[in-house]
Amino acid sequence: MSARIYIEGGAKGPDSKEIKIRCQEAFHKLLDKMGIKRKPRLKACGGRQSVYDDFCTAHASRKADYVAMLIDSEDPMTDVEEAWAHLNSVTTVPKWVKPTGAIDEQVLFMTTCMETWLIADRATLKQHYGDKPQKTVLLSLTDLEERDRHAVQTAITNATRNCSNAFKKGERSYEVLGKLNPAVLNSLPSFARIATILKKKP
């Protein structure tokens, strides 16, 4: 079975190609550790609209048996299984029309953003940043996926600001992503959903 996943990740500007490659490599490492036997082809698309456009094109042309997009949920989710309904409720982006024949399992969410995953894995943060991060600035692990994405991103930025390799979205975020422990992230409902969906694909 062939599969393609279009990822919200990367950056604009002269370094965009290199950063997109870093993004793809980091997600490949994470999929390896998740035990995904037959890894999908990954494409870092940059912004959300580019992800959606590429997904719609691939879905319509049947470029693979399974086509999906991996994006930030932006807002907390009422029901992690109701992916398209959630996209219609997000207030920060234009409403996306569900393509004909598309199903909820084709939308994979990082809730509320990728940085939620980083904050959830405290052991990996310690391994990557050492003892310098300000732990008191990091958010509580309780109901972490219900946190506002801006609060999550601000927390990890502030917690690592005194580190020589301080967190920086895009350029340095993928260095941490590739080191994350899926066993820890499975405590997050949206991550557990991704693992369940991908592992059942032949």
Share of the chain above pLDDT 90, in %: 72
Report the pLDDT value the prediction gives residue 172, as an integer from 0 to 100: 82
Single-letter code of the amino acid located at 191: F
Buried b (16+ CB within 10 A) or exposed e, 85-116: ebbeebeeeeebebbeebebbbbbbbbbbbbb
Check: CB of residue 159 under 8 Å from CB of residue 134.
Answer: yes
Q: How many angstroms separate the CA atoms of 132 and 126, rounded?
A: 8
The ranges assigned to domains in the chain are 3-113+185-199
List pLDDT tens digits, range 11-70. 665 568 888 999 999 999 999 999 998 889 999 999 999 999 999 999 999 989 999 999
Report how far apart the first and last C-alpha atoms of the chain are (Å, whole number).
Answer: 6
List pLDDT tens digits, range 122-132. 999 999 988 77
